[in-house]
Amino acid sequence: MPNINNENDDLSTNGQGPLEDTSPYYETDSNQYNKSLEDDEAAANAAKLGIDNGDENTVSPSGSTSHRGKRRKSLVSTQESVAHVSPYEQDPDPEKHVLKEWDCYDHLGYSFSTRRKWSVIAVIGICQLSMNFNTSVYPHATPLIAKDFNISEQAANTSQMIFLVSYAFGCELWAPWSEEYGRWIVMQCSLLSSNIWQILGGLAPNFGSIVVARFLGGISLAGGSVTLGVAADMWDSADHGYAVAFVVLCSVGGTVIGPVFGGLMEEHLSWHWNFWIQLMFNGVTQILHFFIVPETRSTVIMDRLAKKLRKSGSDPHAYGPGEVKPFSLKELLKTWIRPFHMFVCEPIVLFCSLLSGFADHLIFICNQAFGPIFEQWHFSTTAQGLTFITLVIAYLIGYVLHLIDIREQRKIMDRMLHSPRGPERRLLLLLFLAPMLSIGLFGFAWTTMGPHYTPWIAPCIFSAVLGIGNYSIYMATIDYMVAAYGPYSASATGGNGFARDFLAGIAAMYATPLYNNIGHRFHFQWASTLLGCLGILCTIPIYVFYWKGPTIRKRSKFAQALSEEFEEGRRKEHKYQQKEQEGSATSTTLGSAVEDV
């Protein structure tokens, strides 16, 4: 098995020192945070902002001291396209100068205190929780809606399918706007519009109005495209692990706390209250976000700071990166299309997203299958919903396991950053936890035969096994794609989120027929067994990527573009370091000559 500890040997055998590393995983413009040929300009800008850039032992956003100085923005960030990076390198007018991140580093999210970062990410987690709560609590309203409007339950499920499919597209449509105009305003617009459509749903006079409300509500949700972007705005790629793990926990947690409360709502309230409770949750979330979460998008903060400097007269020629490059519809369309292009053309994105989507859509199948299965033990509707507590526990276990793995990764982070197999290290824990998806499905299948064969706790235990695998798959695939695609990671992870929501929407239509019509007497058992076999097929690519990941990434134009940018930056940095050393040697020689005189 490949070992991360042997990567330095691999580099040395190729005759490559650290400065010539060709790994596609690293900050592509990390050389900008070392002393560069533009130090004079940066120092002048920093002086106007009252910032000292001369300290080599800079405290990083995570609170640690690094000799590399202030680290570059996270590679998980949705600040991905070359078009967004190029303004940092341009000066369209000799009289203007564009603020760079190191000029105003103390104003950016990376410099927030640890307490402030985690207060922000806690509210962002609640936002993600509330959005996914909307997806999972609604199925408990469909039986009541079907009865009220005299339609079949299968027809009522179309409103859930439409919501999830529109949610899949909504996440991608919101992402470019958060990059241009900021995370805060986009999240506020998303939550506000979602709340408006909840009112439409609660007051709907017919089923058609509910379908429209659910479609508009789904496409209004920004989802992980923005919440993960906020984490990237405050932590760099070497330190974001804990924050991403928390956001992922909130994401998957929202899909299982919905049924816990949904069973109570279905048994004791009318379907209208399903919408009103979603509205209450989302409304409180929006208020928390409004007052606690600041803007974190770096380019937006720099634009605002530049305008403030010009207005105060302290620097009339300062401009932000967004001001020198006007908003372009062409770039917007390019950003929208890229996630779908990578989903189709990049094997890593395609198969990781399909695995993640398959794992997530199983939870929505459980949402519809748990009812008839646990009726065999005479569970009430409320009790059926409470069985999802086992999945809540499973996600917490998966979260703790990944926290331990993140701690181990941080111990060898420098080697991971410089190793050609660094991204594949992110998959190591998943190699052991991914099989739990199929094991959980097989065990769940043959412990659902009723009280004459097994106790009710048996299928709950195996559903927990499935849940641990589900959390690990989502977390590890996100982490791996971030490491593999760097600045393009937002498009890569966008494909992941799209697959999860889209496949979950499709599951809303076939879950009930699958569990009722296959296998005759053992229809519950054979349906879960079939899903377990599909789970095996979906997990196979993970092992292929772990062993052959570097080779596959060499054939990727996105990964190669990242590698070329990295190499160019490293060459420039190395060249400047040589000049600096020569200058230092010359100064020493002159000093000695003066002393001799």
Every domain of the chain and the residues it spans? 346-573
CA dist list (Å): 424 to 7, 24, 547: 12, 12, 8
Give the integer Cα–Cα distance in Å for 142 and 210.
11
Q: Are 180 and 322 in contact (CB under 8 A)?
A: yes
Residue 53 has pLDDT above 70, yes or no: no
Give me the percent of the chain exceeding a pLDDT of 70: 77
Which pair of structure tokens corresponds to residue 125? 């987690």
Nearest CA-CA partner of 174 in 160, 184, 163:
184
Residue 128 has pLDDT above 70, yes or no: yes
Nearest CA-CA partner of 110 in 298, 303, 281:
298
Q: Which tops the pLDDT comparison, 493 or 47?
A: 493
Q: At what angle do helices 224-234 and 183-202 cross, to 10 degrees?
A: 150
Sequential DSSP letters for 386-408: HTTHHHHHHHHHHHHHHHHHHHH
User: Can you tell me whether residue 35 is helix, strand or coil?
Assistant: coil
Q: What is the largest CA-CA distance in the chain?
A: 104
Q: Are 228 and 493 in contact (CB under 8 A)?
A: yes
The reported pLDDT for the residue numbered 23 is 40
Give the integer Cα–Cα distance in Å for 199 and 184.
23
Q: What's this model's pTM, rounded to 2 decimal places?
A: 0.79
The reported pLDDT for the residue numbered 66 is 40
Distant-in-sequence, close-in-space partners of 344: CB < 8 Å, separation ≥ 6:
350
The reported pLDDT for the residue numbered 96 is 76
Nearest CA-CA partner of 320 in 27, 107, 13:
107
User: Do the bridges between strand 318-319 and strand 58-59 make them parallel or antiparallel, or are there none, so unpaired?
Assistant: unpaired
Q: Are 274 and 140 in contact (CB under 8 A)?
A: yes
Residue 85 carries which side chain, given as an amino acid letter?
V
| Interval 392-397 mean pLDDT | 97
- H-helix or E-strand spanning residue 65: strand 65-66
Give the integer Cα–Cα distance in Å for 567 and 17.
12
The reported pLDDT for the residue numbered 176 is 81
Least confident piece of the model among 365-379, 391-405, 581-595: 581-595
Place of tokens 């990781």: 352
Per-residue pLDDT tens digits for 452-477? 999 999 999 999 999 999 999 999 99
Per-residue pLDDT tens digits for 78-106? 333 333 444 334 444 556 778 888 888 88
Q: Are 227 and 124 in contact (CB under 8 A)?
A: yes
Give the integer Cα–Cα distance in Å for 417 and 27.
9
Of the pLDDT bands very low, low, confident and very high (cuts 50, 70, 90), residue 324 is confident
CA dist list (Å): 70 to 52, 59, 103, 399, 565: 12, 7, 11, 29, 20
Secondary-structure class of domain 346-573 per CATH: mainly alpha
Residue 565 has pLDDT above 80, yes or no: no
Per-residue pLDDT tens digits for 143-177? 999 999 999 999 999 999 999 999 999 888 888 88
Residue 315 has pLDDT above 90, yes or no: no
Q: What is the CA radius of gyration of the chain?
A: 26
DSSP letter at 78 equals S
Place of tokens 């160019």: 568
DSSP letter at 420 equals T
User: Can you tell me whether residue 512 is helix, strand or coil?
Assistant: helix
Residue 294 has pLDDT above 90, yes or no: yes
The reported pLDDT for the residue numbered 430 is 96
Give the integer Cα–Cα distance in Å for 282 and 134.
9
Q: Are 226 and 186 in contact (CB under 8 A)?
A: yes
Distant-in-sequence, close-in-space partners of 349: CB < 8 Å, separation ≥ 6:
342, 343, 481, 485, 492, 495, 496
| Interval 506-522 mean pLDDT | 88
Of the pLDDT bands very low, low, confident and very high (cuts 50, 70, 90), residue 583 is low
Average pLDDT of the residues of the chain? 81
Residue 206 carries which side chain, given as an amino acid letter?
N
| Interval 291-303 mean pLDDT | 93
Q: Are 99 and 91 in contact (CB under 8 A)?
A: no
Give the integer Cα–Cα distance in Å for 318 and 527.
63
Other CB atoms within 10 Å distance of the CB of residue 279: 19
The DSSP bridge partners found for residue 98 are: 319
